[in-house]
Amino acid sequence: MVDPAALCKWLEQTVVGARVRESLWLFPIIETVHLLGMAAFLATVVALDLRLLGWALRGQRISVLSGRLAPWIWGGFCVQVVTGGLLFSSEAVKVYANPAFRLKMLLIFLAGLHALIFHWTTNRGIANWDDNSAPPTSAKLAGGVSILLWLGVVAAGRFIGFV
């Protein structure tokens, strides 16, 4: 078992970690891309969640909407993992111990798990309510929980610098 603290220390000392930490412009540039990635990811995830809630895009077939948004959701998520990883590498030891960062990681894990469970359960029966303007309660609940979890991720991330 690898010691996470030792791993963080190693990560900070890599060329990448050092460059991001010490460069004048790289850090704010990566932060900018992280914000743009968040915009793309959150906008598309929330659009799908609002459709599941039956609060928006009610004329759209859910499976079609989710298929069209998927590249943006996954693309946005990948941008976040890469840019977030770079920012993390620059101050890994400090950030690893930060309670807001830990909460953010926990919420990302829960949001991912929640999406998987939705995919395996409620989403199995989608053929019955694909074009319903108001999907069943379980689907609505999934949309609402997903929105709350991802907003929590944003808020926890913003608090890393303050706690």
Residue 53 vs 108, nearer CB to another protein:
53
Nearer to another protein, 18 or 117 (CB): 18
Q: Which residue matches tokens 């990948």?
A: 78
Q: How far is the CB of 158 from another protein (least distance, A)?
A: 4
**Least Cβ distance, residue 46 to another protein (angstroms):** 7
d(CA 163, CA 155): 12
Please identify, using beta-carbon distances, which residue of 89 and 122 lies nearer to another protein: 89
Please give the residue ranges that form the binding site for another protein (CB under 8 A).
20-25, 27-28, 42, 46, 50, 53, 55-56, 58, 90-91, 147, 151, 154-155, 158-159, 161-162
**Shortest Å distance, C-beta 2 to another protein:** 25
Nearest distance from C-beta of residue 120 to another protein, angstroms:
27
